[in-house]
Amino acid sequence: MTQTTSSTASHAVSEIDTSSRCALSFLIFASLLWLVTGGVLALLNLVQVHSPDFLADCFLFTHGRLQAMQETSLVYGWAGNAGIAVALWLLSRLGGSALRGTNYLVIGALFWNIGVKLGVYGIAFGDMTSFSLLQMPDYVQPLMLVAYAFMAAPGVLAWTGRRNDSTFATQWYAIAALFLFPWFFSAAQFMLLFVPVRGTLQSVVSAWYAQNLFSLWMAPLAIAALYYLVPKIRGKVMPNYDFAIYGFWSLIIFGTWMGGRHLIGGPVPAWIPTVAFGAAILVLFHHIIVFLNMRGIGSSGGGVVLKFAKYGFYAYLLGAIIDAVFASRGLAMITQFTFFQNAQWQLALASFSLIMFATLNYMVPRLSGAAWPSAGLVRGHYLATILGYAVLIISLGIAGWQQGTALNDSAISFETVAAQYRPWLLVASAAQALLLVGNFALLVNFVRILFVRTSESSSSQFRQPANLEASSS
């Protein structure tokens, strides 16, 4: 590994962490609140699919509104806050100095969260837009953009003020995500909400935006964290670091073209899904290179951080392969418009969330200068999350496949189709509930660590980092 990271590795608790403690803790707290809120909404949303009459009399919670509310909570609330917190922490650590501009960060985060809240209320009261993953009402969107600029400012300062001129892979991914988000967010707002383009061009731009949100924002942040955590914990040089730069650019260049894979057979130019299929294949080059560099991730040992990182990374690889395979016309004919797409989205979300959980488990004790108050809650969160995601994704995938094959047989009525997939959705709801329990455990543990008084005894634990990460076994 390069010298960049080893400079800060010698002292685990440093001024770098303590100086940004308050600001980053606020972001993490907000992100966990949204994670739990989004989990509740997602559970209600899933229950409505197997029991359509659930909450049907309440106009705030129609199936469509709940879906928009849960996606907004999870993407802008959970991923937005946690992603920025992790990116800034990584950039300040690798930049070798304390985070500057934390006032901007706090103000930006405050307004960002007000924006998400207004957005969710706006959806509940009937102001949602028609674009998936961009459902927040148009009056909230400009606020989000300005708030984002404030939140990302410390990241830019950490990049420009870095001690070391040469940069590390983590920094490329983190700064690319911070820099590209406002670009495509503002372009999507402009072309879809304020000066809407005509007809089905809206569907193309909306698909482009939704894909960028994952490929150019959530994925780079997760990979940034992996490039930091894995070599640091394993204490080994990455075997193919020389290729890392090609992996980075292939994600940025090809990932953004994949949006059209959901438009196969739709009223848009036929080349759009074809290009998306090609891009989904080419982007696998990125995954291969990251895989080569993360080879040590699968070996045993190494606490809950590495275990979260491992499963998150496997979800990331599996998601990419499934996205590429099911972007082909033959298979999409079955899986298009079904729960299979929900499974693909959950897989993407799982890869991001699991890697964020790994990072939070590593970062929070260092930020607050104390070990997690309850190892039991850490273990509970870990087990519930891994099991919950695995069951959720598999059951949605099976339900989607059944639904797709049945829909393509016109002799089977809608009632029969629904009766076939209903048991799997019950399983998926149980998994969603389990995820909620796990995430609540994380929230409780985090609130408790905020109130732990840093004492000499707890900081002595940092001299043996192994004690810090509660073991999951």
For another protein, the binding residues in 197-226 under the rule CB under 8 A are 197-205, 208, 212, 216
**Residue 205: which of 227, 222, 226, 188 has the closest Cα?**
188
**Residue 370: which of 13, 10, 8 has the closest Cα?**
13
- Residues 96-155 binding another protein (CB under 8 A) are 126-130, 132
> What H or E segment, with its residue span, contains residue 366?
helix 339-368
- Residues 361-400 binding another protein (CB under 8 A) are none
Which of 46/147 has CB closer to another protein? 46
Output phi, psi for 164, to 5 deg: -105, 130
Contact 384, 359 (CB under 8 A): no
Which of 303/404 has CB closer to another protein? 404
Residue 163: CB atoms within 10 Å? 11
Alpha-carbon separation of residue 56 from 26, 35, 40, 42, 61 (angstroms): 36, 24, 17, 16, 7
Output phi, psi for 435, to 5 deg: -60, -40
- Rounded to the nearest whole angstrom, what is the least distance from the CB of residue 201 to another protein in the complex? 5
Number of residues that bind another protein (CB under 8 A): 77
Contact 261, 277 (CB under 8 A): yes
- Rounded to the nearest whole angstrom, what is the least distance from the CB of residue 253 to another protein in the complex? 5
- Specify the length of the chain in residues: 473
Residue 121: CB atoms within 10 Å? 14
Contact 244, 238 (CB under 8 A): yes
- Rounded to the nearest whole angstrom, what is the least distance from the CB of residue 412 to another protein in the complex? 9
Token pair, residue 69, equals 């509310």
- Residues 168-197 binding another protein (CB under 8 A) are 172, 176, 179-180, 183-184, 187, 191, 196-197
Which of 367/398 has CB closer to another protein? 398
- Residues 294-333 binding another protein (CB under 8 A) are 329, 333
- Rounded to the nearest whole angstrom, what is the least distance from the CB of residue 463 to another protein in the complex? 34
Q: Which residue among 62, 186, 240, 374 contacts another protein (CB under 8 A)?
A: 62
- Residues 268-287 binding another protein (CB under 8 A) are 268-269, 272, 275
Which of 62/97 has CB closer to another protein? 62
Q: Which residue among 34, 148, 150, 257 contacts another protein (CB under 8 A)?
A: 257
- Residues 233-252 binding another protein (CB under 8 A) are 245, 249, 252
Tell me the window of 45-53, 95-103, 370-378, 389-397 that interacts with another protein (CB under 8 A): 45-53
Which of 148/372 has CB closer to another protein? 148
- Rounded to the nearest whole angstrom, what is the least distance from the CB of residue 266 to another protein in the complex? 5
Tell me the window of 9-17, 21-29, 57-65, 94-102 that interacts with another protein (CB under 8 A): 57-65
Which of 17/323 has CB closer to another protein? 323
Task: Report the alpha-carbon distance of residue 32 to residue 446 in Å, rounded.
Answer: 9
Residue 241: CB atoms within 10 Å? 17
Token pair, residue 133, equals 């993953």
Task: Report the alpha-carbon distance of residue 429 to residue 302 in Å, rounded.
Answer: 32
Residue 410 within binding range of another protein, rule CB under 8 A = yes
- Rounded to the nearest whole angstrom, what is the least distance from the CB of residue 316 to another protein in the complex? 20
Tell me the window of 65-73, 109-117, 281-289, 291-299 that interacts with another protein (CB under 8 A): 65-73
Tell me the window of 55-63, 297-305, 360-368, 463-471 that interacts with another protein (CB under 8 A): 55-63
Contact 91, 151 (CB under 8 A): no
The b-or-e profile of 414-450 (16+ CB within 10 A means b, else e) is eeebeeebeebbbbbbbbbbbbbebbbbbbbbbeebb
Tell me the window of 17-25, 80-88, 305-313, 404-412 that interacts with another protein (CB under 8 A): 404-412
- Residues 331-350 binding another protein (CB under 8 A) are 333, 336-338, 341
**Residue 406: which of 395, 422, 391, 429 has the closest Cα?**
422
Residue 426 within binding range of another protein, rule CB under 8 A = no
Token pair, residue 72, equals 């907004």
- Rounded to the nearest whole angstrom, what is the least distance from the CB of residue 18 to another protein in the complex? 29
- Rounded to the nearest whole angstrom, what is the least distance from the CB of residue 249 to another protein in the complex? 7
Which of 102/170 has CB closer to another protein? 170
